[in-house]
Structure 1
């Protein structure tokens, strides 16, 4: 009798564990489906909100303000409003402008910077 009670308790714990795992899987499936639908919707649009532009670029939405402030990304807003919008072509241009050719230039700048530091340490 004690063994049966012990097995029932183990079965109940297993059942609760399985229910918790199923709940997590259902939740992650909903998130995945929602994100996939958002990405599909982005392909049909030409003007994006801050959140949509961030999703398109795979960046944090607040980082877009920094890119706008430093002139690396164009943003638009209606007169008298705070909300900013981004054009798809500007976002694509931003992606293209950060291509491998610029990475080579950045690498050369880093090499010069590293050389300067090494020269200072030798003195």
Structure 2
């Protein structure tokens, strides 16, 4: 390889690394900012829950997540405590359910159906 080709390849790799670092820094700063807020926009709530923003609307529509909007506006807002409650409501520890027993019951049901 010529020196110019090497230099160009190196510049390209550095540019990719810089862009990657900028994306990482932006995401980290967003997450840090979320910890200080108590009311989130749809996009911020999606970032907090690690979900797609459109999926949040489905959760709201089906009554699984509380959302608020100001009168006359379309923008949805979510409270941090509601988002945390949503996360904890799906945990097995909260419901005291043994996951293995559910699986065993399901497996036994399938086996019984196949025996017939």
Give the alignment of 1:33-44 within 5 angstroms. 33-44=25-36
Equivalences, count: 115
Q: C-alpha displacement at 1:110, in angstroms?
A: 3.9
| Unaligned stretches of 5+ residues in structure 2 | none
Secondary structure of the 1:59 match is: coil
Q: C-alpha displacement at 1:121, in angstroms?
A: 1.3
Match of 1:91 in 2: 83
> Which has the greater radius of gyration?
1
Kindly indicate whether the alpha-carbon contact (under 8 Å) linking 2:38 and 2:80 is maintained by their aligned counterparts in 1. yes
Q: C-alpha displacement at 1:40, in angstroms?
A: 1.4
RMSD: 2.0
Match of 1:6 in 2: none
For normalisation by structure 1, the TM-score amounts to 0.80
2: CA distance, partners of 1:58 / 1:99: 16
| Unaligned stretches of 5+ residues in structure 1 | 1-8
More helix by share: 1
1: CA distance, partners of 2:103 / 2:76: 34
Asked if residue 119 in structure 1 is aligned to residue 87 in structure 2, the reply is: no
Secondary structure of the 1:48 match is: strand
- C-alpha change, 1:113 and 1:31, in structure 2 (3 Å) is same
Q: C-alpha displacement at 1:87, in angstroms?
A: 0.2
Q: C-alpha displacement at 1:103, in angstroms?
A: 7.7
Q: C-alpha displacement at 1:63, in angstroms?
A: 1.5
1:69 pairs with 49, 53, 61, which one? 61
Match of 2:52 in 1: 60
Secondary structure of the 2:2 match is: helix
- C-alpha change, 1:105 and 1:67, in structure 2 (3 Å) is farther
